[in-house]
Homo-oligomer: A and B are copies of this chain.
Amino acid sequence: MHRLNTRDPGFERAFRRLVSDRRESDEDVARDVEVILADVRNRGDAALAELTERFDGHVLATDADWSLSPEACREAFDALKPDLRAALELAATRIRAYHEAQRPTDRDETDELGVRMGARWTAVDAAGLYVPGGRAAYPSSLLMNAIPAKVAGVERLVVVTPANKGQVNPLVLAAAHLAGVDEVWRIGGAQAVAALAYGTQRIRPVDVVVGPGNAWVAEAKRQLYGVVGIDMVAGPSEILLIADGRNDPDWTAADLLSQAEHDPAAQSILITDDAVFADTVADRIGVELAMLPTARVASESWNAHGTIIEVANLDEAPALANALAAEHVQIATDDPEALFRKIRHAGSVFLGRMTPEAVGDYVAGPNHVLPTGRRARFSSGLSVLDFMKRTSFIQLDEAALHAVGPAAVELADAEGLGAHARSIQVRLGQ
């Protein structure tokens, strides 16, 4: 864990190091991924089957090996114990309600010159959702990715997920049923992303690919960006807690560890104006870790990346927060709004002492897929818009063309684009 103090002479340099700390994998998988994408593009299902057997130990022979039926998803859902089923349903209902209000509105206006202009939003035809295998196969993540797609109006929503020796997490299947997923394929890795983008004999291509994954999956999405739309290149999770000394240190310790437990590369940062509180929180993290089933991952993250920044005054926090542009910012003060007003760059902000970030991961409603690695400077959490696109339109009548056409001819001529000018002039009788 790192300890910084804005009053220290070395603070600027230490803080710059914190801001530029790249916790993302530098593993160079680009060349390997290139080869896999080309292989799936050229050989389709045959390549998929070979790669899946090699990487996942799963043989794709029969239809049932390839994909799981909607019935299998429904059965997984029906088999949930009642409390868990109710929790998943509450989450789905709240996520759906929040995202329904994200649907954009169309435009259709005619101005005083008679120029009609507008924009019409439509959903993509098909979307693919990557669900990681193993420990990171989270049903909440499936809901957060799938529900916005369905709310957008996507007709065909396809899940791909690696099936280690054929196994897929039943909670993920239950969530797929609840979210209305249309197809579930037991494939993973870069090869699954390639199948979604290019299509194969069995799998029809999609238009957008979303969802988290390892370095290979992330690189495959990056390389296929443009062939399909993608959500974002995602990195390890992070939280920035801004807290005064009047917080329960146990709460703060638990909040910091709730990001640390995701990934050894995750980062938890506390900004506080109270040195005693800072010390107590650091102590309590040790105590909490001892009780935590995820202690190994959480302590690795906290030791390597955890940071406590002591400030003279919490008014210094927004500038630090903007430089860090964290995925999650939690403000545990009596008047969180005052600080929030000055924070421009953050994925999602959790206001007040009774709003632990974890509540946003599951049941609050807003999306938990958020920009990491300082990308909140320029990008947003997943939304219905990631599954839609806008078609603008223009309509002129003769009078409108006479009003604005000559200016367009002037500009086309200045740009040396004769046919552009001509297409207007012939209509103006010139």
Contacts and interface: CB of A to CB of B under 8 A. Distances in A.
Contacts of A411: 84, 87-88, 91, 139-140, 362-363
Contact of A356 (B250, B367, B397, B424): B424
Contact of A395 (B91, B355, B376, B423): B355
Contacts of A207: 377-378
Taken together, the copies of this chain in the complex come to 2
A298 interface: yes
B257 A394 contact: no
A354 B404 contact: no
Interface in A123-179: 124-125, 135, 138-140, 171
B394 A261 contact: no
Counting contact residues on chain A (CB < 8 A from B), the size range is 35 or more
Contact of A261 (B87, B98, B171, B417): B417
B392 A367 contact: yes
B107 A336 contact: no
Interface stretch (A51-59, A187-195, A226-234): A226-234
A307 interface: no
A389 B378 contact: yes
A314 interface: no
Interface of A: 83-84, 86-88, 90-91, 94, 97-98, 101, 107, 109, 111, 115-117, 119, 122, 124-125, 135, 138-140, 171, 207-208, 222, 225-226, 228-229, 232-233, 248, 250-251, 254-255, 257-258, 260-262, 288, 291-294, 298, 336, 340, 343-352, 354-367, 370-371, 373, 375-381, 383, 385, 389-398, 400-401, 404-408, 410-412, 414-424, 426-427
